[in-house]
Structure 1
Amino acid sequence: MANSKYEYVKDYETPDKLPLDNWIVVRIDGRGFHKFTTKYGFEKPNDKKGMDLMNAAAMAVMTELPDIVISYGISDEYSFVLHESCTLFERRASKLVSTVVSTFTAYYVHLWSQHFPELPLTLPLPTFDGRAVPYPSIKRMRDYLSWRQVDCHINNLYNTTFWALIQLGGLDAKAAEKELAGTLSADKNEILFSRFKINYNNEAEIWKKGSVVFRDYELVEPGASVDETPKMPVNLAEVEISKTQAEKEKKRRAKARITLQHLDIIKDDFWERRPWVLSNKPGQIPKQT
């Protein structure tokens, strides 16, 4: 771009580069989705087509952005995790957030007709907001995802009981809220089973555990030796080799199949059997059967 007397305005841009060696979580949330889901008659407490659409949009984002190592979604929110070594957009928060949010929103709108063919979108259109949060260690990043998965269980148990009281028990919203005030998980399970013969343990995993999206490689047996620590280059030649290797690994990640599962990401087993999520190094492509 040619220099001009107006170029000084660039100096007003605020630096927003996220700290190095931190895991980055870009979390998006639906804006005004209570009204939005009411407008389109989403089923309560959970709408399968609505969640399938969220998951499809998230998988598209991960396809578009190979730097994302894992994502986790519940209800109208999704969290996208970028590896601590990520250099995408020079780690600028505004660029990362705007790219993830706009890509997700674009696919949500684009894929809408596949999931709701009988309900064409009309104004106001669905929109999402987002934020980027750096986490200084694997433990902090995992604790964040664990927090979201625990929230998934707590909120779903409440909503399942709340809507059972309304749909099956004949209560209105205020009466259902009053009955559930101060109750513990055991109390809600008892209400579901004793009054409505609903065993919460039999509810679909997608609602109890949320949706986990990641690249699919061959599982590793727990305890297997895996080198997760990248070797730092010591001279210019090694720097170039390192860059070349990084590009090759990025292309391998881009080719990997993206899978959607509903499983426990709080326990160590998930991470031990899928070391590529934390190492950011592609694993072995599963053999076709």
Structure 2
Amino acid sequence: MANSKFEYVRNFEQPDSLMPNTWIVVRIDGRGFTNFYSRMCAKYEFEKPNDKRALDLMNAAAKAVVTDLPQIAISYGVSDEYSFVFHKTCNLFERRASKLVSTVVSTFTANYVYLWSTYFTDTPLSFPLPTFDGRAVCYPTVQNLRDYMSWRQADCHINNLYNTAFWKLIQLGGLDNKEAEKTLAGTLAADKNEILFSRFKINYNNEPEMFKKGSIIFRDYELVEPGSHNEAAAADALAEPAVQSKSQAEKDKKRRAKAKVVVEHLDIIRDEFWDKRPWILSGKPGRPANPSKEIQT
């Protein structure tokens, strides 16, 4: 770029690089989705408490983001939110928060709007259009990161159990919103399960896993036998990022590009998920997945 007398304005730009050697989570949320859905439920005939088409659309848009950005180690989504985890060694955009957040949000939103007609075949998208906002948060240790992911999945379960009971009281029990809220006020998880079963013969355990656990997206490699996760996590949390040669980095990049990006609905609170997929925390691509040898979770 040629120098000019106007170039001084660049001095007003402030550095916003995120802390090095930390896990970066870019979390996006539907902007005003509560109002968006309330206005559009009738128009698009959304099912309550969960509309599978809407969740599948969220997952497809998120999968496009993960596919486009190989630096993302894993992502987790529920309802109108998605969390994208960049490995602590990531140096994309020199770890600038504004660039990471804007790239994730814009890529997700573009794919969400583009793919709408794939999942809502009979109801074209029209104004007001859905939009998303985002933020970046750094987590210094593996335990911090896992606690964050566990928090989001636990929140998914709590909210879904409440919403399932709430809407069944309305749809099948004939209550209005206030009556349903009053019925559930102060109830524990066991109480809500009992209401669902005793009144409507619904076993919450049989509800779709996507509704109960949310969705996890990651690059799939060959599963391994569970080892000692706690020891591995502690070592990883204390280790400095390894310096790779250019040739090794290029090989890893190619292996990631060949790996299949999958959407699963699994328990990420327990160690088993992480133990069988050590590449997520290590950042090192695993062996290509062989469906005939995969260990079931």
Bin the TM-score by the shorter chain: over 0.9
Secondary structure of 1:109 counterpart: helix
Residue matched to 1:198: 202
Q: 1:52 to 1:45 in 2, by over 3 A?
A: same
Q: Distance in 2 between matches of 1:119 and 1:287?
A: 39
Tell me if structure 2 keeps the 8 A contact 1:212–1:260: yes
Letter in 1 for 2:287: Q
| Equivalent residues of 2:89, 2:241 under 8 A apart | no
The structural deviation recorded for 1:82 is 0.3
Correspondence 1:70 to 2:77:
no
- The one-character-per-residue Cα deviations of 1:125-183 (angstroms, maximum 9, x if unpaired) are 11000000000011001100000000000000000000011000111111111111111
Q: Which moved more, 1:252-261 or 1:75-84?
A: 252-261
Match in the other structure for 1:181: 185
Q: 1:69 to 1:231 in 2, by over 3 A?
A: closer
Aligned equivalent of 1:35? 35
Do 2:21 and 2:241's aligned partners in 1 also have CA atoms closer than 8 Å? Answer: no
Task: Show the 5 A alignment for 1:38-49.
Answer: 38=38, 39=40, 40-49=44-53
Deviation string, structure 1 residues 67-115 (Cα, Å, up to 9, x no partner)? 0010000000000000000000000000000000000000001111110
What is the TM-score with the length of structure 1 in the denominator? 0.93
Q: Is the 8 A contact 1:67 1:250 kept in 2?
A: no
1:282 paired residue number? 285
Instruction: Describe how 1:1-289 pairs up with structure 2 within 5 A.
Output: 1-38=1-38, 39=40, 40-223=44-227, 232-233=242-243, 242-287=245-290
**1:230 CA displacement:** 7.7
Shift of residue 279, structure 1, vs aligned partner: 0.6
State the Cα distance separating 1:37 from its structure 2 match: 2.5
Counterpart of 1:149 in structure 2: which amino acid?
A: Q
- Secondary structure at the counterpart of residue 288 of structure 2: coil
What CA distance in whole angstroms lies between the structure 1 residues aligned with 2:242 and 2:193?
A: 52
Amino acid aligned to 2:17? K
Cα gap change, 1:189/1:88 in structure 2, threshold over 3 Å: closer, same or farther? same
Partner AA of 1:283 in structure 2: G
The C-alpha deviation readout for 1:210-258, integer Å capped at 9, x for no partner, is: 101011100010128989768845xxxxxxx623322321221122100
Distance 1:251 1:123 in 2: 41
Separation in 1, partners of 2:253, 2:29: 28
Q: CA deviation at 1:22?
A: 0.4
Q: Aligned partner of 1:30: which letter?
A: G
2:16, 2:97 within 8 Å by CA — same for their partners in 1?
Answer: yes
RMSD of aligned alpha carbons: 1.7
Residues in 2 aligned to 1:81 and 1:106: alpha-carbon distance in whole angstroms: 20
Task: Write the distance in 1 (CA, Å) between the matches of 2:250 and 2:8.
Answer: 35
Tell me the number of residue pairs that the alignment of Structure 1 and Structure 2 aligns: 282
Q: What's the counterpart of residue 238 of structure 1?
A: none
Gaps of at least 5 residues in structure 1 are: 234-240
Q: Residues 85 and 16 (structure 1 numbering): CA distance in 2 closer, same or farther, change over 3 Å?
A: same
Shift of 1:15: 1.2
Question: What SS does the aligned partner of 2:28 have?
Answer: strand
Alignment partners' CA distance in 2, 1:135 and 1:287: 33
Task: Report the Cα distance in structure 2 between the residues aligned to 1:165 and 1:259, rounded to whole angstroms.
Answer: 35
Task: Tell me the SS of whatever aligns to 2:245.
Answer: helix
In the TM superposition, structure 1's runs of 4+ consecutive aligned residues that sit over 3 Å from their partners are 224-233
- For structure 2, the 5+ residue unaligned runs are 293-297
Say which SS state the counterpart of residue 289 (structure 2) adopts: coil
